[in-house]
């Protein structure tokens, strides 16, 4: 992996921002079903089904992005749109509250997924457009490597933030004679939450809500980084080498 790919724009900005976008995407995908299970007390099946529409949105926008770039020859607009949508989406997700109507949760999930749909195809096409033909294999491999690394880090870092935040908030919110037992049970499995005494159940739900909000705020902060990495990039029109 040539070092110049990671220190010279526009390829450095494209590769690093794409890796961060992968971190955000997997952090959201990994934690949102947990929000529906632990905070809204839905089943694992129902929680997973809520991701169908956002997944369709990401796939549809991803396909449309390819046609849009081919038609307009503009590589930067989809990148900026994707970064901004991811920012709006992660901020919206961090603001979710209990008691909202079902359609509102779905609405909050869509912008971030649309941002993914713009970002990943546009980055791939952009990094090829700014590379000589002889470098394209190496550049493509590097982009995929860093994206894959971002996907792994998305699960790892979000899990790290969640578990530490959960330990902290459970200690703050859960009170009562069975406090230690309750904390131990709910840290092992969210399935224990619906079986708890109503008082403990509300305390644990508040703890999970605060912990997941902290995790989603982390994703929102990372999305700000992707915006600042994307905005300064100077990209040629499709078909022109730079």
Q: What is the pLDDT of residues 92-110, one digit of tens each?
A: 999 998 888 888 888 999 9
Question: What pLDDT does residue 1 have?
Answer: 61
Question: What pLDDT does residue 163 have?
Answer: 93
pLDDT at 119 over 80: yes
Residue 213 domain-assigned?
A: no
Residue 194 domain-assigned?
A: no
16 Cβ contact partners less than 8 Å away, ≥ 6 residues apart = 6, 146, 229
Question: What pLDDT does residue 240 have?
Answer: 56
pLDDT at 239 over 80: no
151-199 residue pLDDT tens: 999 999 999 999 999 999 999 998 888 888 998 888 888 888 898 888 9
Question: What pLDDT does residue 166 have?
Answer: 93
Poorest-pLDDT segment among 1-15, 27-41, 75-89: 1-15
Residue 185 domain-assigned?
A: no
CATH of the domain at 12: 1.20.1250.20
Residue 128 domain-assigned?
A: yes
139-154 residue pLDDT tens: 888 889 999 999 999 9
CA 204/CA 188 separation, integer angstroms: 13
CA 40/CA 47 separation, integer angstroms: 9
Residue 157 domain-assigned?
A: no
> Whole-prediction pTM value?
0.90
CA 223/CA 2 separation, integer angstroms: 26
CA 210/CA 228 separation, integer angstroms: 27
State the residue range of the domain holding 55. 4-152+223-230
Residue 113: in which H helix or E strand, if any?
A: helix 102-129
The average confidence (pLDDT) of the chain is 89
Closest by Cα among 79, 37, 82, 23 to 219: 23
Residue 197 domain-assigned?
A: no
Q: Is the peptide bond preceding residue 56 cis, with omega within 30 degrees of 0? A: no
| Count of structural domains within the chain | 1
Closest by Cα among 80, 91, 123, 108 to 24: 91
Residue 137 domain-assigned?
A: yes
- With bands split at pLDDT 50, 70 and 90, how would you rate the model's confidence at 85? very high
Supply the DSSP string of 69-97, one letter for each residue. HHHH--SHHHHHHHHHHHHHHHHHHHT--
Residue 59 domain-assigned?
A: yes
Poorest-pLDDT segment among 17-26, 27-36, 45-54: 45-54
19-29 residue pLDDT tens: 999 999 999 99
pLDDT at 3 over 70: no
């Amino acid at each position: 992996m040539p070092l110049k790919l990671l220190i010279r724009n526009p390829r450095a900005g494209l590769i690093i921002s794409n890796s961060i976008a992968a971190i955000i995407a997997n952090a959201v995908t990994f934690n949102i079903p947990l929000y529906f299970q632990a905070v809204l007390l839905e089943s694992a099946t129902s929680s997973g089904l809520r991701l169908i529409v956002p997944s369709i949105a990401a796939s549809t926008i991803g396909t449309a992005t390819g046609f849009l770039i081919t038609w307009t020859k503009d590589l930067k607009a989809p990148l900026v749109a994707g970064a901004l949508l991811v920012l709006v989406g992660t901020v919206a997700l961090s603001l979710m509250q209990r008691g909202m109507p079902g359609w509102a949760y779905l609405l909050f999930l869509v912008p971030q997924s649309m941002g993914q749909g713009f970002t990943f195809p546009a980055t791939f096409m952009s990094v090829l457009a700014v590379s000589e033909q002889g470098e394209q294999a190496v550049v493509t491999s590097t982009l995929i490597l860093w994206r894959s690394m971002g996907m792994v880090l998305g699960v790892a870092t979000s899990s790290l933030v969640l578990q530490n935040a959960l330990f902290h908030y459970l200690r703050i919110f859960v009170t009562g004679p069975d406090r230690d037992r309750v904390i131990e049970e709910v840290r092992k499995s969210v399935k224990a939450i619906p079986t708890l005494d109503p008082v403990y159940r509300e305390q644990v739900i508040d703890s999970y809500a605060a912990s997941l909000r902290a995790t989603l705020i982390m994703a929102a902060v990372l999305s700000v980084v992707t915006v600042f990495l994307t905005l300064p990039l100077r990209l040629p029109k499709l078909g022109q080498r730079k």
